[in-house]
Every structure is written in structure tokens, then in C-alpha cells.
Amino acid sequence: MNSGLPTLTQHRKDDAPPRKTVRSRYLPLAATVSLFIVISVLGSVMYTGFFSPQVFLNLLIDNAFLIVVAVGETFVILSGGIDLSVGSVIALTTMVSAALVEKAGWHPLIVIPLVLAMGTAFGTLMGWLIARFRLQPFIVTLAGMFLARGLCYLISIDSISITDPWYAMVSQIRIPVMSGASLSLGAVIALVVLALAVFVAHYTPFGRTLYAVGGNPHSALLMGLPVNAATIGAYALSGFCSALGGVLFTFYMLSGYGLHAMGLELDAIASVVIGGTLLTGGVGYVIGTLFGVLLLGIIQTLISFDGSLSSWWTKIAVGALLLVFCLSQRAFGERSATKR
């Protein structure tokens, strides 16, 4: 019997749950996309030069790494967990890459697969601890965050600039998309990752198991789904995405530094939530995260275009967005949870 249900609040027979129409499932996503469009239009009206293809493609270019990381975070949150270590893993990835390329002289094409494997292993370890010992994801990934950043500093306190020509060359690759506008390699990679993620989430048993675990882990277990394996997989995937995001970040910053991506996990989580995914898990679309990132990005762009508004308004705007989305998620009668 489900001992988790408080028995004093049983369901009422007559009050069947409001029949959610197919449309209502997409409502949060629609809200995000609409908001994105509205702000884009606002910006175009208010500022000249806003509505140019390159401005929008720049959103993708500048936020490529965040898109990748947030995609990984989406999987973890869908499964009902959370990953606070993503920013630190990015930093660690940049540091290890920089150290190996600059100090040890290894070729980037060896270093990159290596750091990807490292990130995946890191995530797998955290996932294993969470699944095997039923630890709280919050605290495990918190420790992971400390650990990753600490390891950064163990390698080097100061930043290590990457002067390797290969990196510089790759970071400047531009793939023309339309009428003078182009995308960076990183942005293309981000879009590819996104497409793959959508596939995994909707067409693979692994992805569906994650949704099931996020919806009701107890039921998922009783239904015979591989809950533990899926949980570990989600964190491994997040670790991989963090490392990949770190690689993209390395192209972006061309340096390895322990202070890179501070607070990025919050941006990732905010993107996921604003993209329509419930923090309690089980509900949401990976594509929503893309729009979450884009929305955050366009607010930032708008503020910098304005010039008069200070950039910290972005933080307040993000907080306000989070508030609105979370409150409306609650208002739509989602299950409440006592877990953190």
C-alpha cells in the first residue's frame, strides 16, 4: 500500500481531476515561447538593429554551452532529481583541457574525448551514490560541486590561457546559415545535442523510464522499470553534457579557470523550469529548455541593447520569471511534495 499518501486527504469521488485537454499539457511551453516572441517583438520595436538574423543567431552562439548543460539538467530534473554540479564540472573541464593542452602538450583531439569521459564518470559516480544509498540528490551534487571546483584549483589557481592554434581556429569557424548570418560550431553542436536529446527523451525506453521515475518512483519500481539504472544514467548524461558544455565553453573563453561558470547551475535550472519542466519531475519537454535558455538570453540581450539598464536587472528578471512559472505550476494543481 502506498504509505506515502497522507490518509487524511483522500481523493474525493466526485471531484475527478480536471480533465486536462491535450492543449493544457503544452501550456507552460507555449507560455515560454510566446513570451520569447513578445520580447523579441518588443526589442525590435524599441531598438534598431535588434531584429536582425545575426542577433538571434548570436543567442545560440553565446548560449551554446548553456543549452547543452541545461539539456543534461533537464534529464536529471525530469527524473525527479537535481544536479548542482554542472557549473563546476564546466570549470573543471576547461581547466583540465587547458592544463593538458598547454602544459602537457597533448593534442586537443585526444584531450576532448578524455574530458568528456571524465565528466561522464563524474556524473556516474554521483548517480550511483544517489541510487544505491538513497541519498538526496541535492546534497550529493552539492558535494560534487565543491569537489569539481576544488579539483580545478588543485590543478591551478590562476587561469591558464589556451594558445593552441587548433582551439583558436575551431572557435572561429562560422557556418553560414542565411543572408550574411552564421552560426559557430559550438552552436551547431548544441543544436545537434538538442535534437539527440529530444530523440532520447521520446523514443528510447531510457528516456521514458526517466519520465516514469519522475512521475512516481514507487510505481515505476512496481511496474518493473529499471529505476536505479535509469537514475544513474540521468546523472551520467548530465555529467557528459556538463563536460561537453565545458568543451564549448573552452572554445568560447579560450582559457581554463576555476572561476569559470560560477552560478551557471542556477541559470541551467532556471532555464529548465522556465522551459516548462516541473521541478518535481515527470513533466516537461526537452525542447522547452531551449526556449528557456533563449528567453534568458534575449532578456540579457535586451538589457544590454538598452545600455541604460544595469545588467543585474537580468537576475531580477530571471527571479521574477521563476516565480511566475513556479506559482502557475502550483496553481495548475500539481502534486505537492515534501521533498526538497
Partner 1 sequence: MDDTVRRGKLRSMMEHRLGWPIVTLALLLALNAAFNPGFLHVEWRDHHLYGSLIDILNRAAPLAVVALGMTIVIATRGIDISVGAVVAIAGAVAAWAIGGSISGNVTRFALPVVIVAALGVALLCGLWNGLLVARAGMQPIIATLILMVAGRGIAQLITSGQIITIYYSPYFFFGGGYLLGVPVSILIVALVFALLWLAITRTALGLFLQAIGINPTAARVAGVQARRLTLGAYAFSGLCAGVAGILISSNVKSADGNNAGLLLELDAILAVTLGGTALTGGRFTLAGSVIGALIIQTLTYLIYSLGVPPEVNLVVKAIVVFAVMMLQSGEFRATVAKFARRPALADREVRR
Partner 2 sequence: MTSPVLELRGIDKRFAGVHALQDVNLTLYPGEVHALMGQNGAGKSTLIKVLTGVVSLDAGEILLDGRAIHPDSPLAAQKLGISTVYQEVNLCPNLSVAENIFAGYFPRRGALAGFRIDWEATNRQARELLGRIGLDIDVTRVLTSYPVAVQQMVAIARALKLSSKVLILDEPTSSLDDDEVRRLFDVLRRLREQGLAILFVTHFLNQVYAISDRITVLRNSRRVGEWRANELGTQALIAAMLGRELAAAQARQPPPDDTEAHATDDALLDAVRLGQKGQLQPLDLRVRAGEVVGVAGLLGSGRTELAKLLFGLEKPDEGELRIDGVPVSFATPAQAIRHGIAFCPEERKADGIVAELSLRENIALALQARMGARRCLTRAEQNALAERFVRALGIKAATLDMPIGLLSGGNQQKALIARWLATEPRLLILDEPTRGIDVAAKQEIMDEILRLASTGMAVLFISSEISEVVRVANRIVVLRDRRKVGELPAGTSEDTVCEMIGAEHG
Q: Return the number of the residue (46 or 337) whose C-beta is nearest partner 1.
A: 337
What secondary structure, in 3-state letters, does 217-256 show? Answer: HHHHHHCCCCHHHHHHHHHHHHHHHHHHHHHHHHHHHCEE
List 69, 84, 130, 220, residue binding partner 2 (CB under 8 A): 220
Give which of partner 2, partner 1, none residue 157 binds (C-beta under 5 to 8 Å, depending on kind).
partner 1
Given partner 1, partner 2, none, residue 143, with its beta carbon under 5 to 8 Å by kind, binds: partner 1
Angstrom distance (rounded) from CA 10 to CA 13: 9
Nearer to partner 1, 45 or 327 (CB): 327
CA distance 318 to 205: 34
CB atoms within 10 A of CB 336: 7
23: buried, middle or exposed (CB in 10 Å: 19+, 13-18, 0-12)?
exposed
Which of partner 2, partner 1, none does 212 bind, CB closer than 5 to 8 A by kind? partner 2
Q: Does 308 bind partner 2 (CB under 8 A)?
A: no
- Cβ-based nearer residue to partner 2, 308 or 336: 336
Tell me if 286 contacts partner 2 by CB under 8 A: no
d(CA 301, CA 55): 9
Interhelix angle 286-306/64-78, rounded to 10 degrees, is: 140
Rounded to an integer, what distance in angstroms lies between the CA atom of residue 87 and that of residue 146? 10
Pick the closer one to partner 1 by CB: 70 or 140.
140
Task: Output the smallest distance, CB 21 to partner 1, in A.
Answer: 25
Closest to partner 2 by CB, 82 or 294: 82
Question: How far separated are the first and last CA of the chain, in Å rounded?
Answer: 23
Identified binder of partner 1 from the candidate list 133, 169, 224, 308, rule CB under 8 A: 133
Report if residue 337 touches partner 1, rule: CB under 8 A. Answer: yes
Nearer to partner 1, 147 or 221 (CB): 147
Sign of the torsion angle spanned by Cα atoms 54, 56, 60, 63:
positive
Picked from partner 2, partner 1, none, the partner binding residue 144 (CB below 5 to 8 A depending on kind) is: partner 1
208 touches partner 2 (CB under 8 A) = yes
